[in-house]
Amino acid sequence: MKRIFKYFLQGLLLSGPLALTLYAVFLMFNYVDRLIGDPLKEHYQIDTPGIGIVVLFISLTLLGIIGQTIIARPFIYFTKRLLKRTPLLNVIYTSIQDLFTAFVGKEKKFNVPVLVCMNKENNLWKLGFVTEKNLKDFGFQGMVAVYFPHSYAFSGVLYFVPESSVKPVELSPSEVMKFVVSGGVTKVN
């Protein structure tokens, strides 16, 4: 009997928030429908079934926009400013931010997959991604920065290698990344 009651409470916990949300939306819809629909019908003889849902949708969307711009943006700005002013957190935060920007931002860096000859004697090659072609700031001419992701990990190694050791790969960056991260197990199309 205890087990059945436990399952009942678990079901109530899972369905309760959804049911309350749906009920609240239903109540708001009816309230807005009466608030706007009844005066329209009374004064203009216009029957507008469902006007409440349209007005409710527009109102909630505007509330979301206001919440995002007035509430969320200052909070995000303050948090970023705090992270950038804290010495150790600054290094971690900006590195992670740059990494995410490199993957999904406007300045994608992992879009040039290459093979790099690591050992000519044994014909040993490694898959990686050119992340920077101009290394003059580091004092290197004719060198490129190649990032080699590790298999099954969110990490990798960055090498500066001669351009002559780099060979472009005729595959999409996502296919190469899947192949490398999977340890070569994933099939490449």
Residue-wise pLDDT for 47-106, tens only, equals 777 788 888 889 888 888 887 788 777 887 888 888 778 877 777 777 777 767 766 666
147: Cβ contacts below 8 Å, ≥ 6 apart: 109, 110, 128, 129, 131, 156, 157, 158
On whether both 74 and 117 belong to a single domain, the answer is no
Nearest to 111 by CA among 132, 133, 129: 129
Mean pLDDT of the chain: 82
On whether both 129 and 168 belong to a single domain, the answer is yes
Q: What pLDDT shows up at residue 114?
A: 92
Last residue of a domain, one of 51, 85, 119: 85
- The 3-state DSSP class for residue 173 equals helix
Name the domain count of the chain. 2
Q: What pLDDT shows up at residue 54?
A: 85
Q: How far apart are CA 147 and CA 19, in angstroms?
A: 49
Instruction: State the distance between the two ends of the chain, measured CA to CA, in whole angstroms.
Output: 55
18: Cβ contacts below 8 Å, ≥ 6 apart: none
Last residue of a domain, one of 33, 52, 85: 85
Q: What pLDDT shows up at residue 39?
A: 84
**Distances in whole angstroms, Cα of residue 105 to Cα of each of 62, 100, 149, 178:** 27, 7, 19, 19
Is residue 101 situated within a structural domain? no
Q: Is the pLDDT of residue 115 over 90?
A: yes
Q: How far apart are CA 169 and CA 77, in angstroms?
A: 40
